[in-house]
Chain A
């Protein structure tokens, strides 16, 4: 369901891991400990007391995939500066935009399965935060949905806007029928400004949030059904959280309470919570 080997290969191929593999032992500061714990979790280091050393059977991949390349770039340019120095990414270069875009493809199979197996046909659907899971055209083609994508940084969705422009655009929501065009729209807004989106589009049939900090109670008011998706895989969780923080995107906070009444489905290494409106 997720190309975990590619993601781990991408991290293994960074200069940081190359450097660590040349050191006998490392005793990190409390700030760096979560990073080294993460590298231990994915098998690149091993822990000995409060120190870390390279894993005994660390093999560096000879040939890496485009996704692994993207993860290497993102780990080096975004994750590491954020964890080490608390740096945020002010401007996304085209290389980083492309790498972030490639990263969202890691979630493509999950998106397809959610759209096909869990969602009903038709209706206006809000994607509350496009990154990191990248819900978009699968909702249109597989579930016949009309889609509004809300994202907090415009550069993040620039490539998706460009790609969706290949699809003929319907001038208004189509409903459920078979069509040669799709209705899709992008809104560059903070996730807590749902009111503005509601005023423009009216109430939604569904909303999708994937490891993003949309207010689930507000989403429940705004849509008949809310799909909240959370990876269980520790690599995905760690990377997604680091990306969200470094990019200044709203990360999930205290969603457990709102999800207590949700139906829960498992899709591969993801938990999909479905909240239905009582109205």
Chain B
């Protein structure tokens, strides 16, 4: 599986929490792979660097070389531009004429912060646009690990 989204939405925080680590991650500079064991499944979790500029995102999409069982698009619930960037990333991938995943879901992260600020960017429209099977709203930083595992348990 892979997790994709612009920089700062919490992709690596999410991966670290799944591994049982509560570290505040540094900025991810290169793609990385982490191994998780989910009951009888071996899951390789591909974490990719966040992208800010659309041009860089497009370059990244060109370099995409793998096919995944589950693609997680992640955005920040307090930042509308991070949601729209998902559509950009998605179309950059599709522009190559490929669908490099079996299934796609959308995660709106930083639910705790969104509730605190009273600013909750709903993801339904973009979820439809990218054909995401489900939307999950969570706080990768604060939610219980069972909540974080849901996309993996329900969608792989």
A and B are interacting partners: yes
Q: Spell out A's residues near B (CB within 8 Å).
A: 65-67, 102, 105, 108-109, 112-113, 116-117, 121-122, 137-138, 140-144, 163-164, 166-168, 174, 176-182
The residues of A that contact B113 with a CB separation of less than 8 Å are none
How many angstroms from the CA of A253 to the CA of B28 in the assembled complex? Answer: 36
The residues of A that contact B35 with a CB separation of less than 8 Å are 105, 108
Residue contacts A-B, CB under 8 angstroms, 8 given: A66-B42, A108-B35, A112-B21, A122-B29, A138-B34, A141-B29, A180-B63, A180-B64
Shortest Cβ distance from residue A146 to the other chain B in the assembled complex, whole angstroms: 9
Given known A-B contacts A108-B35, A112-B23, A180-B59, A166 and B65 have beta carbons under 8 A apart: yes
How many angstroms from the CA of A144 to the CA of B16 in the assembled complex? Answer: 17
How many angstroms from the CA of A163 to the CA of B66 in the assembled complex? Answer: 10
How many angstroms from the CA of A112 to the CA of B12 in the assembled complex? Answer: 11
User: Once the chains bind, are B64 and A179 in contact (CB under 8 Å)?
Assistant: no
How many angstroms from the CA of A85 to the CA of B60 in the assembled complex? Answer: 53
Q: Does B76 contact A (CB under 8 A)?
A: no
Sorted from nearest, which 4 A-B pairs have the closest CB atoms?
A141-B32, A144-B29, A180-B60, A180-B63
Contact of A113 among B21, B47, B64 (CB under 8 A): B21
Which residue of the partner chain B has the closest CB to A145? Answer: B30
How many angstroms from the CA of A116 to the CA of B28 in the assembled complex? Answer: 10
A-facing residues in B33-74 (Cβ within 8 Å): 33-35, 37, 40, 42, 44, 46-49, 56, 59-60, 62-66
User: Once the chains bind, are A137 and B49 in contact (CB under 8 Å)?
Assistant: no
Shortest Cβ distance from residue B149 to the other chain A in the assembled complex, whole angstroms: 15
Q: Does B31 contact A (CB under 8 A)?
A: yes
A-facing residues in B15-32 (Cβ within 8 Å): 16, 19-21, 23, 25-32
User: Once the chains bind, are B31 and A181 in contact (CB under 8 Å)?
Assistant: yes
The residues of A that contact B29 with a CB separation of less than 8 Å are 121-122, 140-144, 176-179
The residues of A that contact B16 with a CB separation of less than 8 Å are 112
User: Once the chains bind, are A163 and B21 in contact (CB under 8 Å)?
Assistant: no
User: Once the chains bind, are B32 and A137 in contact (CB under 8 Å)?
Assistant: yes
User: Once the chains bind, are B42 and A182 in contact (CB under 8 Å)?
Assistant: no
Given known A-B contacts A65-B37, A108-B19, A113-B23, A142 and B31 have beta carbons under 8 A apart: no
User: Once the chains bind, are B21 and A137 in contact (CB under 8 Å)?
Assistant: no
Which residue of the partner chain B has the closest CB to A70? Answer: B37
Given known A-B contacts A108-B19, A113-B21, A166-B44, A138 and B30 have beta carbons under 8 A apart: no
The residues of A that contact B66 with a CB separation of less than 8 Å are 166-167
Given known A-B contacts A109-B21, A112-B21, A168-B64, A163 and B44 have beta carbons under 8 A apart: yes
Indicate the member of A102, A138, A142, A182 with the most B CB atoms within 10 Å: A142
The residues of A that contact B19 with a CB separation of less than 8 Å are 108-109, 112
How many angstroms from the CA of A102 to the CA of B34 in the assembled complex? Answer: 12
User: Once the chains bind, are A182 and B31 in contact (CB under 8 Å)?
Assistant: yes
The residues of A that contact B34 with a CB separation of less than 8 Å are 108, 112, 137-138
The residues of A that contact B59 with a CB separation of less than 8 Å are 180
User: Once the chains bind, are B32 and A138 in contact (CB under 8 Å)?
Assistant: yes
User: Once the chains bind, are B30 and A179 in contact (CB under 8 Å)?
Assistant: yes
User: Once the chains bind, are A67 and B37 in contact (CB under 8 Å)?
Assistant: yes
Which residue of the partner chain A has the closest CB to B20? Answer: A109
User: Once the chains bind, are B33 and A164 in contact (CB under 8 Å)?
Assistant: yes
Indicate the member of A105, A109, A141, A181 with the most B CB atoms within 10 Å: A141
Given known A-B contacts A142-B28, A179-B30, A168 and B65 have beta carbons under 8 A apart: yes
The residues of A that contact B62 with a CB separation of less than 8 Å are 180
Which residue of the partner chain B has the closest CB to A183? Answer: B30
